[in-house]
Amino acid sequence: MTDKPLLSVRGLTIDIPVASGTLHAVRGIDFELMKGETLCIVGESGSGKSLTSLALMGLLGGRISRRASRADFDGTDLIAASNRQMRRLRGARMAMIFQEPMTSLNPAYTIGDQLIEALLLHKKVGRAAARDRAVALLEKVGITSAASRLGQYPHQLSGGLRQRVMIAMALMCEPDLLIADEPTTALDVTIQAQILRLLVDLQREMNMAMILITHDLGVVARIADKVAVMYAGELVETGPAADIFNAPTHPYTRGLINCIPVPGKTARGAKLGTIPGIVPSLVGEVTGCPFRTRCSEAVPACRGEIPVRTRHAGRQRILCVHEDGQRAASEVPA
Amino acid sequence: MLRFILRRLGLAVLVALTVSFISFSLLFLSGDPAIAIAGEGANENDIAAIRKLYGFDRPMLLQYWDWLSSALRFDFGESYYFRLPVADLIADRLSVTMILGVCGISFALLLAVPLGVLAAIRPNSIIDRVALFLSVAGQAMPSFWFGLILIVVFSINLRWLPASGAESWRHFILPTIVLGYYAMPAIMRLTRAGMLEVLSADYVRTARAKGAPEGLVLFKHALRNAIIPVVSLAAVQMGFMLGGSIVVESIFALHGAGYLAWESIGRNDLPTVQALILVFSLFYIVFTFLADVLNAWLDPRMRSS
Amino acid sequence: MSAAMPRATATAAAPRDPLLEEITGPTPGQMLRRRIFGHQGFLIGTITLLVLLAIALVAPLIAPHDPYAQDLMSRMERPVFMGGDWDHVLGTDHLGRDYLSRLIYGARVSLLIGGVAALISGLIGTAMGVAAGYFGGRVDMVVTFLINVRLAMPVTLVALAVVAVLGGSLEVVIGVLGLLLWDRFAVVMRASTLQVRGREYVAAARAIGCSTPRILLTEILPNILNALIVVVTLEMAHAILLEAALSFLGLGVQPPTPSWGLMVSEGKNMMLFEPWLVLIPGAVLFVLVLAINLMGDGLRDVTAPENRS
């Protein structure tokens, strides 16, 4: 591991034009990722997690604009890169797995065709070699009789198998970064665990960096090196996984972690934590802390500029008016 | 797949039989066909003789059976007007209509598919608007009028192309445009709608995430899926076009099967008309059957079931 | 059936990020623009159609001449914009009849045939389609089969043959077209009924013991009306075009009835010298059909469920 991060993002902003104005879907988020590290981005649906990953891959639709003061992937500026440069990067050095295995594979081609294509697009190897690699990877992702699967069509496979194929496809060129956007949400609970296990194993084995997007904190606790908690387009808390789980600081993070039942600790029948309220509209000017409408620690200052606070020697960062994420007894609630 | 083909084939045969019965019954629509054959001024005896000669005095179902069993041997009886076997008459004329049909559908596809794709890639762009305009105008354009305008412009004023006849390939250009333009709007709209839907599909995003260049994304990943329903539609349109060639052939005096139909209807030549209705229907039935099979083969989900 | 009703295969809607939902579909701005564009077409089409309808209704009041009155002394006089005089604004035909008057009366023929034929085929097709969609099973099989048979028959040819056998009068043409053009009604109404049949309110009506006719009339029909109206416009246009084609081929409405198709046909012989004889009635026909289609397309856009939210 070198000290230079593989991926470094500063001030990533994503705007979507809508009928009633501009939807400020992601507003100036920062994070970085070392080679071989796993970053989990956690948040509710609609918080901008998927948009962030699509923005990194350059796969946002044409009408959506993105900008950042820095978006460096191993020396390439992801925002300024030409279409051609991005195409060389995509699939080869940064790969992505999507939420919907059922619809993410092209129904008209065999999985063999689709796997082989992923390699041939970037590497000058023969078809036979590509085929061998496809078989090897299918075996690696735990698909039995891999060679005979190559001729099958996506509709002949179950969701779990398709997601394994998607993973194999993403790994065809041994990428340095794998972005997995809720790769297990659409799957059965039993399959979910298998797929996650597989992702973690492969990531360690191939020493890839991974960005895992999820709303499942249980998953995060088990596999993340770093955690970024996203709320309404902002990263409200980032830091090493251990720190965040030991000492969640932002009120939203604390709320999320309280929602996880802990076997043995949570009494049967006890109420799990909930966070009341709804996410504010992000259309038009967004000021202050977006969480203040649901926050038990909210004070009048939450409407203004929100300072970045660092803890644990700068490793953990939170966006909150309170030093430690908690309202002092002397402060007036908003 | 085989089961599907057999079932589809069974349906096709059943439809063909029903159509054959309907086209046969047309003969009796006017009441007594013998009167029609005998012509005006025939006396009662002549009519009775004709009735006996053609077997019109027998039960209708029996007559149908006779007609059908001969038709299966490509014997459609004798034309009242030409006094020639109807099968020979039609066989003579069919090639012109087939050439026209193939040219027409090719023209329609060559115009409609690229336009539909371009319109879908850039919705609301100039191209999209032009495509929309062409399809809306195409649907409202009476084909006989369109044909006459082309004759006025290209044959009479510019003298570029012949207005009638079928002697050379140049004679087929204007009829092809008229006939093809008739099928264009529907194909264009379906291509556009299909491409729009497919372009927002997850697997297209997957293709982009793999680093596939845009051309490959559009043609290999998107169009391949969007084209499947277009194949069916093209077959249906081809069937309609052959049936509709009657108008085009009469404008451009192309002596094909459509022209023969027009002549025969005018001359009350019922055996020829019956046979032509059946032949045109059979073309439609065969095309749609082939299209369904091709469709099933193009769509892996159906191929393997 | 798949050949008769090709449709783009629908990809299953999957739950996903609401923010992502925003970017995959058309943006609301785009939808608004599209709807306005649709409205524009709808407005233009509807207004044009209403104007033509009004002209047809008050034809005797506004026609400058008797459309049947021949004047062999003034045949093929040119329209006023081609150097003719104001007595015959759009000139006269080969029998010296006033072209404008014939066009005005021709609107009656086209609209009457289009309207009544669409009504007849609408009744037949809707009854078949709704029955097939609602009852399913054997009824559906039979209807689907009949639709296939109908689609297999070449419309122009069959219509020509029947009109030729029965003789070309307004009633015969209307009847033949009405009996031939029900296929799209049946196809669309069947699909719409199938969709509506599964809804909760239909199940609820059945659960509280409503009779089948009552369910069909009060629960099903109102919910497939939008689709029905769209098909009515399309088939009306279709019938008008077919009538014109039949008359053009000399086997539709017979002379001296002022049918636009017939006028094109009569002008065809003089096309070499007086192309306007062909251009004018064809253009009017084109405008009428275009207006109806624009209205129908607009109606579909405006009433499409995805635009209503």
CATH of the domain at C180: 1.10.3720.10
Binary contact (B142, C241; C-beta < 8 A): yes
Phi and psi of B300, rounded to 5°? -55, -30
Residue C62: inside a domain:
no
Please report how many Cα atoms fall inside a 13 Å half-sphere around the Cα of residue B157, on the Cβ side. 10
Q: What distance in Å separates the CA atoms of residue B100 and residue B252, rounded to the nearest whole number?
A: 12
B142 and B35 in a common domain:
no
Q: What distance in Å separates the CA atoms of residue A48 and residue A44, rounded to the nearest whole number?
A: 9
What lies within 8 Å, CB to CB, of C304 at 6+ separation is none
pLDDT grade for C21, boundaries at 50, 70 and 90: very low
Q: Is the pLDDT of residue C34 over 70?
A: no
Q: Is the pLDDT of residue C8 over 50?
A: no
Chain B residues whose CB is inside 8 A of the A106 CB are 203, 206-207, 221, 224-225
| Residue B65 lies in domain | 2-72
Residue with tokens 């046979």: B275
CB distance C282 to B142 below 8 Å = yes
In terms of Cα–Cα distance, which of B32, B15, B88, B66 is closest to B278? Answer: B15
Residues on chain A bordering chain B, Cβ-to-Cβ distance under 8 angstroms: 57, 59, 83, 87-92, 95-96, 98, 100, 103-110, 117-118, 121-122, 153, 155-156, 166, 169
Q: What is the DSSP letter of B43?
A: -
In terms of Cα–Cα distance, which of B97, B67, B243 is closest to B166? Answer: B97
Radius of gyration, alpha carbons of chain A: 21
- Structure confidence at residue C121 (pLDDT): 95
The residue out of A125, A156, A172 marking a domain boundary is A172
What stretch of H or E contains A95? strand A94-97
Alpha helices, H only, A224-306: 241-246, 251-258
Average pLDDT of the residues of chain C: 81
B299 — contact with chain A (CB < 8 Å)? yes
CATH number at residue B154: 1.10.3720.10
Work out the minimum CA distance from C100 to partner chain B, whole angstroms: 18
Chain B residues whose CB is inside 8 A of the C15 CB are none
Binary contact (B190, C164; C-beta < 8 A): no
Q: Which of A64-68, B40-44, C51-55 has the lowest mean pLDDT?
A: B40-44
Sign of CA dihedral C122, C127, C130, C136: negative
Residue A309: inside a domain:
yes
Please give the full DSSP string across A103-168, using - where no structure is assigned: HHS-TTS-HHHHHHHHHHTT----HHHHHHHHHHHHHHTT-SSHHHHTT--GGGS-HHHHHHHHHH
pLDDT grade for B15, boundaries at 50, 70 and 90: very high
CB distance C76 to C277 below 8 Å = yes
Longest CA–CA separation in chain B, Å: 85
Residue B83: inside a domain:
no
Q: What distance in Å separates the CA atoms of residue A44 and residue A255, rounded to the nearest whole number?
A: 12
A101 — contact with chain C (CB < 8 Å)? no
- Structure confidence at residue B106 (pLDDT): 93
In terms of Cα–Cα distance, which of C163, C178, C180 is closest to C248? Answer: C163
B147 and B36 in a common domain:
no
B268/B275: higher pLDDT: B275
Q: Which of A186-190, B9-13, C54-58 has the lowest mean pLDDT?
A: A186-190
Q: Which regions of chain B does DSSP assign to beta strands (E)? A: none
- Structure confidence at residue B40 (pLDDT): 63
Residue with tokens 């030729």: C164
Chain C residues whose CB is inside 8 A of the B190 CB are 6, 8
Phi and psi of A233, rounded to 5°? 85, 5
A177/C6: higher pLDDT: A177
Q: CA A114: distance to chain centroid?
A: 24
Tokens of A152: 């099958």
Residue C7: inside a domain:
no
B115 and B32 in a common domain:
no
B268/B96: higher pLDDT: B96
| Residue A304 lies in domain | 7-93+173-262+273-331
Tokens of B25: 């019954």
Mean pLDDT, residues C122-142 taken together: 92
Work out the minimum CA distance from B219 to partner chain A, whole angstroms: 12
Amino acid found at A306: I
Residue B85: inside a domain:
no
CB distance A101 to A162 below 8 Å = yes
How many domains in chain A? Answer: 2
Tokens of C203: 């199940």
Would you call A263 helix, strand, or coil by DSSP?
coil
A199 and A166 in a common domain:
no
Interior/surface letters A124-162, b for 16+ CB within 10 angstroms, e for the rest? eeeeeebbebbbebbebbbbeebeebbebbbeebebbbb
A190 and A154 in a common domain:
no
Binary contact (B156, C271; C-beta < 8 A): yes
- Note the pLDDT tens digit of each residue in B111-121: 999 999 999 98
How many domains in chain B? Answer: 2
Tokens of B106: 């090719």
Alpha helices, H only, C83-220: 99-135, 137-152, 155-166, 170-180, 183-197, 200-207, 212-215
Residue B273: inside a domain:
no
Work out the minimum CA distance from C242 to partner chain B, whole angstroms: 9
B223 — contact with chain C (CB < 8 Å)? no
Please report how many Cα atoms fall inside a 13 Å half-sphere around the Cα of residue A16, on the Cβ side. 29
Residue A2: inside a domain:
no
Q: What distance in Å separates the CA atoms of residue A204 and residue B1, rounded to the nearest whole number?
A: 45
Alpha helices, H only, C136-154: 137-152
Residue C275: inside a domain:
yes
Residue with tokens 């006017």: B30
The residue out of A148, A172, A196 marking a domain boundary is A172
* Binding partners of C (≥3 Cβ pairs within 8 A): A, B
Residue A1: inside a domain:
no
The predicted complex's ipTM stands at 0.85
pLDDT grade for B192, boundaries at 50, 70 and 90: very high
Q: What distance in Å separates the CA atoms of residue C185 and residue C121, rounded to the nearest whole number?
A: 8
Instruction: For Cα atoms A46, A50, A53, give the angle at the middle one, nearest 5 degrees.
Output: 150
Binary contact (B273, C237; C-beta < 8 A): no
Exposed / middle / buried, residue A270 (Cβ in 10 Å: 0-12, 13-18, 19+): exposed
| Residue C108 lies in domain | 74-307
CB distance A179 to A21 below 8 Å = no
pLDDT grade for A272, boundaries at 50, 70 and 90: low
Beta bridge partners of A73: A7, A76
- Structure confidence at residue C115 (pLDDT): 93
Would you call A295 helix, strand, or coil by DSSP?
coil
Q: What distance in Å separates the CA atoms of residue A277 and residue B135, rounded to the nearest whole number?
A: 50
Taking each helix axis from N to C end, the angle separating C99-135 and C170-180, rounded to the nearest 10 degrees, works out to 30
The residue out of A172, A194, A209 marking a domain boundary is A172
- Note the pLDDT tens digit of each residue in B125-167: 888 888 888 888 888 899 889 988 888 888 878 878 777 776 7
The chain A residue lying nearest C10, using CA atoms, is: A103
pLDDT grade for B107, boundaries at 50, 70 and 90: very high
Q: What distance in Å separates the CA atoms of residue A206 and residue A141, rounded to the nearest whole number?
A: 13
Mean pLDDT, residues A235-258 taken together: 86
How many domains in chain C? Answer: 1
Chain C residues whose CB is inside 8 A of the B246 CB are 154, 156-157, 160, 249
Beta bridge partners of A308: A319
What is the number of residues in chain B? 305
